[in-house]
A and B are shown apart, each in its own frame.
Chain A
């Protein structure tokens, strides 16, 4: 136990980086995920195909491969970013595929008549998506989005592969000196579990408040 207290500053700094990574990449994934979802349900075939290709590509590639490929491969064609920025962008792009699919399941749960009614009163596709369908879709996917948030938090542990010193990397560095893997990694594991528990609690509350009983 004392080993955790002795190294609290380093571990705390790592935890803050984990928070930053999680918050920034989930925010990015949420924005991009809406776009992916819009493409997936678009009436234009080409746009639908692009959306499908995006989801298939990123759901079928391991995040670690994407991270290492982007970090070491992109500079070869002149695109170079800091480790933290690379990690945020890559995790956001990756998780957006999952957010997009979760939203699409929400869109599918909105009655067909809602969309038809929206078009009947003269709303365009994007207007009916924005004002009628997405607000209802979002309410039904609070829990799946919460799960994606938790997955994002856990996936940030891979950012150490491209040099980001997050909680996992900080725990590794402390262990290198102290050689006490069990207390150190149990401590880090508890911190991750608390993040997941907090996210689960918030989404549970939100869902009860927002749910539409049909």
Chain B
């Protein structure tokens, strides 16, 4: 019995430790800056809110319903202290809400990646900001505005591990990936003999890597940089080897709203707001100036 209690206690400690590592690097500071950035966000002129359109319906409702995550560091994560959702995706959603409503009023619906298409189709959410990679298959089910951000997958290993320098090296090895991430099809394509082991969240995958459940962890570069900065026992071994263009998910067939959102995105980029939002989220771990935003409509399916 004593042993059981000891096991439980140690397990809880382990989990608590890995939970902590997922919290944002500077929560207080970033939420403060959030207000300033969105104060500069553009607001649509009345003529743009066409009668009978989706924009008008959102305006009448008084809030924008955004499908997103609450547990994606740097992109869309709920700050346990303030209750605010912070990150690149979250702020882009707020900026779009301000464009339509005049104030950044959003309600984030925690949409799992397996339900995004259904939530858009049945009108539970107006838009999805959730590292939603544009693919031609998905574009048959939903409309994509953007792309608004481009990312890529890379590989992390335990510090000192050798033998993995490119995706093909994963063949025949146990590889960790986030459940429902583009890493799974990418690994299958580049290293068909790899054994893929998936876990629900990024902290779980990191824990599994440290416990030698797999020799490598394939994940979005931004997330891995944040992980490697917080945890010196892991290291990144490749440059990004895929190009994942993230789109803004919209209801299929609503071309009017898609054009509206694309116009907003263009204005946001031209005004430098896109770059500001990048700096206070992803830019806190990626050094250097903000990258060039991707060309709107440049990807098949967008």
Contacts and interface: CB of A to CB of B under 8 A. Distances in A.
Contacts of A185: 114
Interface residues of A, number: 29
A75 B211 contact: yes
B8 A69 contact: yes
B271 interface: no
Interface residues of B, number: 37
Interface string A73-88: 1111100100100000
Contact of A175 (B1, B11, B114, B182): B114
Interface string B110-129: 00011101100000000000
Interface stretch (A97-105, A107-115, A157-165): A157-165
B137 A178 contact: yes
A70 B10 CA distance: 11
A74 B114 contact: no
A182 B113 CA distance: 13
Contacts of B1: 53
Contact of A179 (B18, B141, B198, B213): B141
Given A69-B15, A73-B10, A181 B114 contact: yes
A173 interface: yes
A172 B199 CA distance: 12
A172 B184 CA distance: 11
A172 B114 contact: yes
B11 A76 contact: yes
B142 interface: yes
A75 B138 CA distance: 39
Given A73-B15, A161-B200, A169-B179, A179 B142 contact: yes
B198 A180 contact: no
B179 to A, nearest CB: 6
Dominant secondary structure of chain A at its interface with chain B: helix
B231 to A, nearest CB: 15
Contacts of A77: 6-7, 10
Interface in B192-227: 197-200, 204, 207-208, 211, 213
Contacts of A73: 7-8, 10-12, 14-15
Given A160-B179, A169-B179, A181-B117, A69 B11 contact: yes
B208 A173 contact: no
A177 B137 contact: yes
B274 to A, nearest CB: 26
Given A163-B199, A177-B137, A72 B14 contact: yes
Interface in B95-150: 113-115, 117-118, 135, 137-138, 140-142
A179 B138 contact: yes
A107 to B, nearest CB: 25
B12 A181 contact: no
A212 interface: no
A182 B114 CA distance: 10
Contacts of B179: 160, 169, 172
B211 A176 contact: no
B253 to A, nearest CB: 15
B256 interface: no
A123 interface: no
Contacts of B137: 177-179
Contacts of B113: 176
Given A69-B12, A162-B199, 6 more contacts: A74-B7, A75-B211, A165-B198, A176-B114, A180-B141, A181-B117
25 contacts: A53-B1, A69-B8, A69-B11, A69-B15, A72-B208, A72-B211, A73-B8, A73-B11, A73-B14, A74-B7, A75-B211, A76-B13, A80-B211, A161-B199, A162-B199, A163-B197, A169-B198, A172-B114, A173-B184, A176-B185, A177-B135, A177-B185, A179-B137, A179-B141, A185-B114
Interface of B: 1, 6-8, 10-15, 18, 113-115, 117-118, 135, 137-138, 140-142, 179-182, 184-185, 197-200, 204, 207-208, 211, 213
Interface of A: 53, 68-70, 72-77, 80, 83, 160-163, 165, 169, 172-173, 175-182, 185
